[in-house]
Amino acid sequence: TPLARVEARDIVTGRARYTADVRLDRLARGAIARPPVRGARATRVDDRAARAVPGVIAVVHDGDIVGVVAEREEQARAAADALEIDWETPQRASSETQVVPMREDAGTDAALASAALTRSATYTLPSIASASIGPSAAVVDVRPDGATVYAGTHRPFGLRDAVAGSVGLPKESVRVMPQMSSGTYGRSSAPDVSVEAAVLSKHARRPVLVQWSRAEEFAHSPSRPEAVLEVTAGLDASGHMVAWRYDEHTNIHTAAGPDPRVAAMTSGRNAVPPYTIPSARVVLHVEPTPLRTANFRSLAAAENVFAIESFVDELAHASPQDPLAFRLRHVDDPRLRRVIER
């Protein structure tokens, strides 16, 4: 018997409560003045016009965050728009491609050169916005002795640490209250909106709700990295794969840093094919990008599985062989065989 989701009725009838529905005593609204380019820093903020907007509680310039706290959201946004800001555009950082070998068998090039049949293909995937139906939101109440965060999040402990660091509190004094949220496909791993609300709350000395607009979400939230997937394979005279060469060019999928093990688990997820191939070379190339990229649903598995399975279909067609039978000829793992056979 199917189990009904306990919150399904509340969702479809509008009774469900999300982060933006949280109401605390003296709750104020916050808005952020966004930089013209990623990484730009405010060097001068003239807030005289902003402070003249009715309802303004505080104008904040704290590190990379420039924003306004007001009684109502429209007041906060109007005041943020009234700020006159000089921005310093960052110098383009010189960044090198990170090359991570995922599988390197000797003799792959020779096996390709001697194959009875070879095929090559290139697959490209664009950057994709998470485009959650509910834009990012957070309510944060920062007090001298601690803070409480109300937000939808994939990483409550990472969120706690980020908020604590942004307002100078020990992480043990920050309490995260995870809220219901719409599907974000990895977007909620980023603590940005909660950090913004925390910094504004600290300066306003009141709880603050920050909710991104749809325009902010598309312009400033992290997106799925782009990918170019180059693959070449060789078959022998009986139609078996004897060699496989695969180069995945993509961007960073996580902010965890340059550790090649992290790159392999994230940007390189599922890059190594699940099929039995005597000789293969699989290399991950993590390319620099000016775009803000981060975790996306399945990390790199979606792009790699798409490319690998599409190319296996092409090999089966070129052989010619039945695509299902072709796969089974190259599968030794009993569990995977059962999956394919079903």
Domain ranges of the chain: 8-33+41-88+135-220, 98-128+223-341
> Which carries the bigger pLDDT value, residue 4 or residue 246?
246
What is residue 339's predicted lDDT score, i.e. its pLDDT? 92
- The CATH-assigned architecture of domain 98-128+223-341 is 2-Layer Sandwich (3.30)
Confidence band, pLDDT 50/70/90 cuts, at residue 93: low
Sheet strands (E) in 173-270: 174-178, 208-211, 223-224, 227-235, 241-250
CA-based torsion, 12, 18, 24, 28: positive or negative: negative
Q: Is the pLDDT of residue 256 over 60?
A: no
Same fold, 8-33+41-88+135-220 and 98-128+223-341: yes
Q: What is the mean pLDDT of residues 67-74?
A: 98
Distance CA 277, CA 209 (A): 54
Q: Is the pLDDT of residue 281 over 90?
A: yes
What is residue 176's predicted lDDT score, i.e. its pLDDT? 98
| Model confidence, pTM | 0.88
Q: How many CB atoms lie within 10 A of CB 224?
A: 27
Q: Is the pLDDT of residue 259 over 90?
A: no
Q: Is the pLDDT of residue 255 over 70?
A: no
What is residue 257's predicted lDDT score, i.e. its pLDDT? 59
Residues 6+ away with beta carbon under 8 Å from 307: 121, 123, 229, 231, 248
For residue 82, give the amino acid letter.
A
Q: Token pair of 286, please?
A: 């993590």
Residue listed under structure tokens 């924003």? 67
For residue 51, give the amino acid letter.
R
CB 88 within 8 A of CB 35: no
Q: What is the CATH number of domain 8-33+41-88+135-220?
A: 3.30.365.10
Q: How many CB atoms lie within 10 A of CB 100?
A: 20
What is residue 258's predicted lDDT score, i.e. its pLDDT? 65
For the chain, the average pLDDT equals 93
What is residue 49's predicted lDDT score, i.e. its pLDDT? 98
Identify how many contiguous H helices and E strands the chain contains and give both numbers.
Answer: 11, 16
Q: Token pair of 294, please?
A: 């981060």
Which tens digits make up the pLDDT trace of 157-202? 999 999 999 999 999 999 999 999 988 888 888 899 999 999 999 9
CB 38 within 8 A of CB 50: no
Q: Is the pLDDT of residue 51 over 60?
A: yes
What is residue 195's predicted lDDT score, i.e. its pLDDT? 98
Q: Is the pLDDT of residue 317 over 60?
A: yes
Which tens digits make up the pLDDT trace of 100-114? 999 999 999 999 999
Question: How far, CA to CA in Å, does 213 sit from each of 131, 190, 255, 292, 333?
Answer: 11, 16, 24, 18, 48
Q: Is the pLDDT of residue 261 over 90?
A: no
Q: What is the mean pLDDT of residues 31-58?
A: 96
What is residue 5's predicted lDDT score, i.e. its pLDDT? 82
What is residue 91's predicted lDDT score, i.e. its pLDDT? 80
Q: What are phi and psi of 79, to 5 degrees?
A: -70, -40
Looking at the DSSP bridge assignments, the partners of residue 248 are 229, 284
CB 20 within 8 A of CB 137: yes
Which tens digits make up the pLDDT trace of 209-253? 999 999 999 999 999 999 999 999 999 999 999 999 999 999 887
Which tens digits make up the pLDDT trace of 282-307? 999 998 888 888 888 888 999 999 99
Q: Percent of the chain beyond pLDDT 90?
A: 76
What is residue 94's predicted lDDT score, i.e. its pLDDT? 59
Looking at the DSSP bridge assignments, the partners of residue 285 are 99, 249
Distance CA 223, CA 211 (A): 18
Q: Is the pLDDT of residue 57 over 90?
A: yes
Q: What is the mean pLDDT of residues 244-268?
A: 83
